[in-house]
A and B are shown apart, each in its own frame.
Chain A
Amino acid sequence: MALNASELNVGDTYTERLVEDLKRTQIVMYAGASGDYNPVHTDEVFTTKVAGYPSVFAHGMLTMGMTGKMLTNYVGDGRLAEYGVRFTSQVFPGDTLDATATVTAVADGVVELDVSTVNQEGVEVLKGSAKARVD
């Protein structure tokens, strides 16, 4: 279902839980599907002993992909026109993520959204914006 411009107001928000207690296996699934096999995402030995991180961590693009689910659930299938993010903090196994879209403008059949994803400690891990076609 697409959004209707006449029912949208600046400041409206939509929130979804993206993942609860992120598992290493989901990160492995993303590595396999995306083709990004950087061992810092899947190889605990390499990541802790060579790369110097406390554990493997999620691909930024996994967080962007999960956040995209919130967006497409909100704006409807095939309605996204633009979607961009900055990765502001790393996402680790065990994290629980919630994503929110906030309406910043509605004009000419397009809604503009701020996008933010936070972890269980309230730390923003992804910050961005999107545009989508509305009815």
Chain B
Amino acid sequence: MAVEKFTVEASHIMMFARSVGDDNPIYYDEEHAKGTEPGSIIAPPTFAQASAQFDPNYGLRPKVGGDGWFGSGGKLSGAKPREGGGGGGGSGGGGGLHAEQRFIYHRHLKPGDVLSATTKPGKSWEKQGRRSGKLVFSETVTEYRDQNDELVITAIGVGVRTERPVDQG
């Protein structure tokens, strides 16, 4: 994943906090936030994941005018699952799942921050799974930098590709 420009906006923070069921007013009420230790609205801890919205090549978003999306429409599936996403930027491609995620906060994000992100591949390893056959894990390390080129968040993601869907039960 490479993101050139991820502008952190208050309304996006509000929607993200709602989606994880967090009604802490520091995520939407500027007046309240002024009286808190951070002194302004900040983003919830996993907000950097929403950088996927700003990655032009993110594979898990239908593209305007692009080739077929793999979700259902008139048919059960629009296309074959495609590659993309990766462990750091989402929960993997069509057959991939998100196995691990870690964030290191050098400071917390706030509205007005303009981030860029670069991702490097990390380790890769294989394991035999009980419920889903051979598992191939791959790590990505994403560095988020702010408008002053300061490192603000380091995100380490691990994606896993399974041989077959995970057996239930």
A: residues with CB less than 8 A from B are 2, 18-19, 26, 29-30, 32-39, 41-43, 45-46, 49-54, 59-62, 64-66, 68-69, 71-73, 76-87, 90, 128
Contacts and interface: CB of A to CB of B under 8 A. Distances in A.
A77 B71 contact: no
B161 interface: no
A53 B97 CA distance: 13
Contacts of B45: 65, 68, 71-72, 80, 83
Contacts of B85: 36, 38
A34 B90 CA distance: 9
B46 A68 contact: yes
Contacts of A71: 45
B164 interface: yes
Interface residues of B, number: 52
B64 interface: no
A49 B102 CA distance: 32
Secondary structure class of chain B's binding surface, majority of residues: loop
B15 to A, nearest CB: 5
20 contacts: A32-B15, A33-B50, A34-B50, A45-B76, A46-B71, A52-B165, A60-B97, A61-B91, A65-B16, A69-B20, A69-B21, A78-B42, A78-B108, A82-B104, A83-B102, A84-B100, A86-B99, A87-B98, A87-B100, A87-B101
A93 to B, nearest CB: 14
A122 to B, nearest CB: 15
Interface string B19-52: 1111010100000000011100010111001111
Interface of B: 12, 15-16, 18-22, 24, 26, 36-38, 42, 44-46, 49-53, 58, 60-62, 69-72, 76-77, 85, 90-92, 94, 97-105, 108, 156, 164-166, 168
Contacts of A80: 45, 105, 108
Contacts of A39: 69-72
B19 A46 contact: no
Given A36-B52, A37-B61, A69-B20, A43 B100 contact: no
Contact of A37 (B60, B92, B164): B60
